[in-house]
Chains A and B, each alone.
Chain A
């Protein structure tokens, strides 16, 4: 198969965004590591070149190893043997390849054995691996746990655990339970402290835990007896490689991402270590963990959408009906162009978000090393707000777009797509989870509407609006300006009621409207940098304008009194 990096010039395009210069300078602390590590970059160009070389190899691994294994892994799946997870054979081969290549823990500092990669290239790896096999990316991507340990654990814990991630050990985040899914405040797993032994122990059950038998696990548990809400929860590290005593009771039989084992785990006097402060487990650490994971799912969504679009395009060119390839029929070429425009738009949103997260995280880590100047603090704050507003937006929108693209890609295949003969059948199944896990779209909307209420998104839209673009793009900018007016009008109407239920009722419509405007602007700016996004811009903004109008129309004629019409009677 082709190299998944070099066959997709969009990746390199996003890699070369102007903001990368600043991100790299912050992340590399002005290249201070070059005197200590012979593999540390010496300047910006050197860093970008390193990113490029690494992405090229990842692209090769994706094309040559991971993608060809995907079908067998989907067929075989993992299994439980003696209360342990046994991966499918292809998963083992994939893991071996990425371990040998040194692709685990790449965002961690060099002193732990990492490559100190910024979030943008890390996200790009996730994008490519997801295109190759959406199930495998979960196992690889759980190195997000390492980021959380890096942010909040003690120096001793960091020294002990982080190098292990870099050597290729896998992670898991054990959050959800049978009665605590979206509502993590009701987590019951009990953490008790044995004073004599100076040791925490975990007891209870976790459910739906991706890669639950991974080597190093972050566990959310109730450390404060008698509490019922999120303030009684703390975060723990459980060393599964060392103790090996949580039991995998079963793994779920799933619709998609079959290669990724989803475990039910039983903890019985399982020793664990507290991370950070007690009671901060959910409020602080899980939120950070989830934000990282959400960006990961946004990347997974874009990668799956890429795979689906490519399958559809190839099929439509080859498949002949009524004497010509079906790509020549308006019904098909329209679908394909809309898919492509949405794919480009969601990828652009993904990397914009990754850059915001990068800027924020870089300042966050610097702030722990020294106190920040006033302007630096302001910049950190700005990017923190943007990262918080964009992460749920990217996860919510990219996953929905991914599902839509997978749906249309299968549709283009007709009956053949419904059969196991073509990869699209698996891709379609794999797509479905993206809008569910790490918070459903409905929950992303709850987080994203806050970004609208606080004005963060609108402020950023204004910034896009003021960016100078080439004259030929002015028509599209005018369209986006008028879409923004329409959005402000609709949002104003909803928010001025100050009725929470009414705001929640329209939240998704508003978030999608804002998302369409933001993605429209991002494509406009992409086209300003490189003209090959022109077609996607044209198609995307045309569709987005119509979609937003429909939503605005719905909002403008609705009132609080309408809510009753939508409620299902309880029997």
Chain B
């Protein structure tokens, strides 16, 4: 069985994004990382591949993005993926990304596709669902556990106050969230060096127009100054909470 990971590359989550003079996100000198949810999806896929109790024998990364993301792909390869495919495009919205992925997947066989629940940059949370819809295959969202059972999958979802396990046929697209793997796997140093020699297939994109267009970006307003209250003075704290923040009513 082959697992395909839809991998997004995002700015390092510790970086504060600034806007350029014309109001667009300034992506110059941004350190890029694997989208954290995709990293967990990849980790789970690798765990399944290494577990002799199932038939997963190949993990392939699928990415839509420019060549500057190549190093991040290589890192993902060093974690243990077997193959990577990069579709040479800089999509403007989720539809465009999904379109390229679908065009690629329609041309080949696959069993299970894993997508992180969202990307940590634009938080669109749309690509996974779009791809499943456009491919007309079943999909499950907010998945926190995957186990194989013969040619079927057991898929676990967290629900409000409990969890449910679904038995699903393949092919399937699972949109996974935190919990799918305990913590992201660390690429090994030797793996990093070997990854250089692993093949990253670059594919030219088909023509597609985005469905949406960004009109404007805004940064969140700066945090108001922090008011420190002396620990020995709870009265002052109560007074501030009641009269300044107006979040409690004492009288």
Contacts and interface: CB of A to CB of B under 8 A. Distances in A.
A joins B in a complex: yes
Interface of A: 1-3, 6-7, 38-41, 46, 49-50, 53-54, 56-57, 61, 63, 97, 100-103, 106, 115, 320
10 contacts: A2-B12, A38-B194, A39-B194, A50-B196, A53-B74, A54-B193, A61-B186, A101-B187, A102-B189, A103-B189
Given A54-B189, A56-B71, A320-B225, 11 more contacts: A3-B12, A39-B190, A40-B193, A50-B193, A54-B192, A57-B187, A57-B189, A61-B186, A97-B186, A101-B186, A115-B189
Contacts of A1: 14
A1 B196 CA distance: 27
Given A53-B78, A320-B225, A101 B194 contact: no
Given A41-B193, A53-B78, A320-B225, A63 B188 contact: no
Residue of A38, A53, A63, A97 most packed against chain B (CB within 10 A): A53
Interface in B55-78: 71, 74-75, 78
B9 to A, nearest CB: 14
Nearest to B31: A6
Contacts of A39: 190, 193-194
A61 B192 CA distance: 15
The bracket for how many chain B residues form the interface is 20 to 34
Nearest to A1: B14
A101 B193 CA distance: 12
A54 B71 CA distance: 12
A3 B189 CA distance: 16
Nearest to B189: A102
A49 B193 CA distance: 9
A97 B185 CA distance: 10
B109 interface: no
Interface string B103-147: 000000000000000000000000000000000000000000000
Residue of A1, A40, A56, A106 most packed against chain B (CB within 10 A): A56
A56 B32 CA distance: 11
Given A1-B14, A2-B15, A6-B31, A53 B192 contact: yes
Interface string B223-247: 0010000000000000000000000
A149 B192 CA distance: 27
A50 B196 CA distance: 8
B249 interface: no
Interface in B174-209: 186-197
A102 B31 contact: no
Nearest to B194: A39
Contacts of B12: 2-3, 6
B78 to A, nearest CB: 7
Contacts of B192: 50, 53-54, 57
Contacts of B190: 39, 102, 115
A49 B196 CA distance: 9
Given A3-B31, A38-B197, A39-B194, A53 B188 contact: no
Contacts of B196: 46, 49-50
A39 B189 CA distance: 9
B31 A57 contact: no
Nearest to A38: B194
Contacts of A61: 186
A54 to B, nearest CB: 5
Contacts of B15: 2
B31 A7 contact: yes
A171 B19 CA distance: 49
Nearest to A39: B193
Residue of B74, B189, B195, B196 most packed against chain A (CB within 10 A): B189
Interface in B1-57: 12, 14-15, 31, 33
B186 A57 contact: yes
A320 B224 CA distance: 13
Residue of A46, A54, A97 most packed against chain B (CB within 10 A): A54
A63 B14 contact: yes
Contacts of A56: 71, 75
Contacts of B187: 57, 101
Nearest to A46: B196
A342 B14 CA distance: 27
B75 A100 contact: no
Contacts of B195: 53
Those 7 A-B pairs whose CB atoms lie nearest each other, nearest first? A6-B31, A39-B193, A2-B14, A102-B189, A53-B192, A102-B188, A39-B194
A424 B190 CA distance: 35
A97 B187 CA distance: 10
A217 B12 CA distance: 40
Contacts of A46: 196
Residue of B192, B195, B225 most packed against chain A (CB within 10 A): B192
B31 A53 contact: no
A50 B187 CA distance: 13
Contacts of B191: 102
Contacts of A41: 193
Contacts of B33: 3
A320 B228 CA distance: 12
B189 A101 contact: yes
Nearest to B185: A100
B186 A100 contact: yes
Contacts of A100: 186, 188
Contacts of B31: 3, 6-7
B188 to A, nearest CB: 5
A326 to B, nearest CB: 14
A61 B186 CA distance: 8
A53 B196 CA distance: 10
B40 to A, nearest CB: 14
Given A53-B78, A57-B75, A63-B14, A115 B188 contact: no
A53 B33 CA distance: 12
Nearest to A49: B196
Contact of A101 (B71, B74, B188, B225): B188
A420 to B, nearest CB: 14
B62 to A, nearest CB: 21
B80 to A, nearest CB: 12
Nearest to A2: B14
Residue of B12, B193, B194, B225 most packed against chain A (CB within 10 A): B193
B17 to A, nearest CB: 14
